[in-house]
């Protein structure tokens, strides 16, 4: 119950009495208790001394709790309606939690309504936007990594195939074929490798054929040289035999000449 009294005067300003009234503020408690501020927000009414007048927790009102320690209430107590022009600020709330609070003067009576909203709820949209941005960035980063891995595999796989094929060709595997159907530089390089392998295989076959022919010619030439060598040996033997016979013949002739001279 609130008792309100005002003086009653005549036209000359002389006091004639007082007009008094008792007002039941339960309706204001019900009104304030029924206010919905967001999902977890709250509203309460304080007087010029910072005393709690209306709140959804009636027990705190009945105790005559003073809230001058709260920032918004303290600003209201220290200043008038024009001095206390404040936007919503982050401060400690009536429930000892960090809230976004704002204060509104009622004028007559000299009370104020304070509205509080938890910080996490007040900045829920901003937080959700930040979380969505972070999630989008992470997804984009992940997709970029996956795309990079996929592109890298598409690029490196043909190169690895070419490398392995080159190693096999270097070891003599001229039957190696590279199956790359792409129409880019890698595909052209694979085609060049296949052409080179075919050329090497043909060259090898021709070289082997020439080598076999050369071996046969060498063998024939060797046999021919051996035959001529045998003929030379026989001729040499004949020549030596004739030379010996000539020497013996000369010796006989000299002996005969000697005998003829004696006769």
Could you report the per-residue pLDDT of 161-184, keeping only the tens digit for each?
777 777 777 766 666 666 666 666
Are the C-beta atoms of 141 and 149 separated by less than 8 Å? no
Find, among 122, 118, 44, the residue nearest to 76 by Cα: 44
Predicted pLDDT at 19: 93
Could you report the per-residue pLDDT of 84-114, keeping only the tens digit for each?
555 667 888 888 888 888 888 877 778 888 8
Q: Are strands 89-92 and 52-54 parallel, antiparallel or unpaired?
A: unpaired
Which pLDDT band, with edges at 50, 70 and 90, does 7 fall under? Answer: very high
Secondary structure class of 43 (helix, strand, coil): strand
What end-to-end distance do the CA atoms of the chain give, in Å?
199
Could you report the per-residue pLDDT of 9-57, keeping only the tens digit for each?
988 889 999 999 887 777 777 777 777 777 788 888 888 888 888 888 8
Q: What is the torsion angle, in degrees rounded to the nearest 10, for the CA atoms of residue 176, residue 177, residue 178 and residue 181? A: -170
Structural domains in the chain? 2-121 (3.30.450.20), 123-263 (no CATH)
Residue 184 DSSP code? S
Query: What pTM does this model have?
Result: 0.46
For 59, phi then psi, to 5°, come to -60, -35
DSSP per position, 82-138: TT-----EEEE-TTSSEEEEEEEE--SSS-EEEEEEEHHHHTHHHHHHHHHHHHHHH
Could you report the per-residue pLDDT of 219-231, keeping only the tens digit for each?
777 877 887 777 7
Residue 107 DSSP code? -
Could you report the per-residue pLDDT of 46-73, keeping only the tens digit for each?
888 888 888 888 888 888 889 988 888 8
Side-chain-side CA neighbours of 181 within 13 Å: the count stands at 0
Better-predicted residue by pLDDT, 184 or 135: 135
CA-to-CA distance for 29 and 31, rounded, in angstroms? 5
């Amino acid at each position: 119950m609130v008792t309100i009294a005002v003086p009653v005067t005549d036209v000359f300003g002389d006091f004639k009495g007082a007009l008094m009234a008792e007002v039941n503020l339960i309706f204001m408690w019900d009104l304030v208790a029924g206010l919905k501020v967001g999902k977890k927000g709250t509203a309460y009414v304080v007087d010029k001394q910072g005393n709690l007048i209306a709140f959804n927790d009636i027990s705190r009102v009945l105790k005559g709790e003073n809230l001058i320690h709260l920032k918004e209430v303290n600003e209201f107590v220290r200043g008038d309606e024009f001095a206390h022009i404040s936007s919503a600020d982050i401060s400690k709330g009536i429930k000892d939690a960090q809230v976004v609070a704002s204060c509104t003067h009622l004028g007559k009576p000299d009370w104020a309504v304070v509205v509080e909203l938890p910080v996490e709820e007040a900045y829920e949209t901003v937080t959700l936007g930040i979380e969505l941005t972070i999630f989008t960035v992470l997804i984009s980063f992940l997709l970029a990594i996956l795309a990079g891995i996929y592109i890298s595999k598409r690029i490196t796989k043909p190169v690895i195939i070419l490398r392995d094929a080159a190693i096999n060709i270097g070891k003599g595997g001229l039957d190696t074929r590279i199956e790359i159907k792409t129409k880019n530089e890698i595909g052209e390089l694979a085609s060049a490798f296949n052409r080179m392998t075919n050329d090497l295989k043909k060259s090898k076959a021709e070289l082997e054929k020439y080598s076999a022919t050369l071996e046969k010619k060498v063998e024939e030439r060797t046999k021919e040289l051996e035959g001529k060598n045998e003929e030379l040996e026989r001729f040499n033997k004949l020549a030596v035999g004739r030379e010996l016979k000539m020497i013996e013949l000369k010796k006989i002739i000299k002996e005969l000449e000697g005998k003829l001279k004696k006769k």
